[in-house]
Amino acid sequence: MKKQTECTTILVGKNATIDGSTMIARSEDGGRTIIPEGFKVVNPSEQPKHYQSVISKQVIDDEDLALNPLRYTSAPDVSGENGIWAAAGINSENVAMTATETITTNSRIQGIDPLLTTEEGGLGEEDFVTLTLPYIHSARDGVKRVGYLLEKYGTYEMNGMAFSDKDEVWYLETIGGHHWAARRIPDDAYVIAPNRLNIDEFKFDDPDFVCSSDLKELIENYNLNPDFEGYNLRHIFGSSTIKDAHYNNPRAWYIHNFFNPEFGGKPSDQDQPFICHANRKISLEDIKWAESSHYQDTPYDAYGDQGTAEQKKTFRPIGINRNFETHVLQIRNNVPAEIAGVQWLAFGPNTFNTFVPFYTNITTTPISWQTTPKFDLTKIFWINKLAAQLGDTNYRVYGELEADFEQKSLAACHKIQHDTDTTVKDLSGKDLQTKLEAANDKMAEVVYSNTVELLGQMVDEGHGLMTLKYDLLD
């Protein structure tokens, strides 16, 4: 059984961020069943030499697995029942990848290039990071690698994925069973990509737009373009449904208005632009707030007091109980390359957690982030889930506690990161990695401790609010 994943992707070019870094982010969301996620380094000796997908049984030829894979970080599904699902990471050459964003399609392209069935084979979200990230040396390499794999092996699902290095951010979407398209995100722009086909304007004669070699011919031969001028891939290959209006578009609309209040529009608008510009430089905290959002200060906030019961259930929020892992992959330009890669990582529902900025030039990860499949309060994944489920019972009371916890934790992590950047500036090799791993452990310990403290505060505040109580003074 394939596990469900429905996510929200945020991409930011280097001239649109507060510190000149590139940032690609995604919340990895699942279905009704809890999917425990971990944090792992895959060292070259651990990279599969022969690969077979669990879901589709697709075997990857040895010729497509390089002899000398790079080390990379990942955020896998720790159960392994449906395969690796490495999700996101940064390799030893500071190239980042997040995969995948589940997207939409339409019957026109499916009638021409159908998605494979899992019985036929093909690749999916289970496979892409493992088969791509250890073999690429730039963001453009990532696009080329995935494009090659899609054309050779095909896919059984529609997905979007992103790549970045210190200079470029790219976003790729699969089209049908074997086709694909990608575009470079302008350095001064950002992107919000919910669960629909997102790329709109496409230029076939521009090097910042690339695709499978016959895509333009396919569009023309099968009369797929509904527009009088130009090529809009969302119109050609995507959807514009009632589900999009309630499930996908409102998420983009809300964050567009957060990044630029002049954006306006309506939550259900179908043609919100793919490439956008904020009214300020975007920070890590902005992305965390966006990935945690639930339509605050609108009638659609499940925790708010503005709307009716029906309005509160109208639109799917970004911050949701089904957030199991969220990351921001940051490649910094204001520090040496050896410490430039940072994987900001959070487990559990984003409305009740915090990011931790883990250095990625490492060979192991903090113990508390090595999640166990079963409930275990020594692991941050499970303690975050507990905090979220308790916090959800009375957001008016617990929300402020969480906000203080998040600010306190992010401040502590920023301080450790600043101190470490300075301390390790003259180190290299194993000495450097040892210091970075120690810094990661310290940040993990601080956040774990702060989360336990948050739980204690919730218990204190909630004691008198329980329904099951009786007092002679009541």
Query: Residue 215: which residues within 8 A CB-CB, separation 6 or more?
Result: 175, 179, 180, 181, 204
Residue 85's closest CA among 68, 102, 103? 102
Q: Which amino acid is at 421?
A: D
DSSP designation for 246: I
Query: Residue 231: which residues within 8 A CB-CB, separation 6 or more?
Result: 201, 202, 203, 204, 216, 219, 225
Ramachandran class of 230: left when φ > 0, alpha when ψ lies in -120 to 50, beta otherwise: left
Strand duo 59-60 + 51-52: pairing: antiparallel
Alpha carbons 228 and 339: distance in angstroms, whole number: 49
Q: Is 276 a catalytic residue?
A: no
Burial classification of residue 270, based on how many CB atoms lie within 10 Å of its CB (0-12 exposed, 13-18 middle, 19 or more buried): middle
| Residues 159 and 132 sit within 8 Å (Cβ to Cβ) | no
449 token code pair: 């401790």
Residue 75's closest CA among 133, 147, 153? 133
Place of tokens 């043609």: 271
Catalytic residue among 7, 211, 276, 413: 7
Residue 197's closest CA among 246, 138, 238? 238
| Residues 197 and 173 sit within 8 Å (Cβ to Cβ) | yes
Ordered DSSP codes for 64-113: GS-SSPPPEEE--BTT-TT-----EEEBTTS-EEEEEEE----HHHHTTS
**Bond preceding residue 100 cis, omega within 30 of 0:** yes
Alpha carbons 295 and 105: distance in angstroms, whole number: 27
| Residues 26 and 318 sit within 8 Å (Cβ to Cβ) | no
Residue 344's closest CA among 452, 440, 278? 440
Query: Residue 449: which residues within 8 A CB-CB, separation 6 or more?
Result: none
Would you report the helix, strand and coil content of the chain in percent, each value rounded to 5? 35, 20, 45
User: Measured on CA atoms in the order 211, 212, 214, 218, is the torsion positive or negative?
Assistant: negative
Catalytic sites, residue numbers: 7
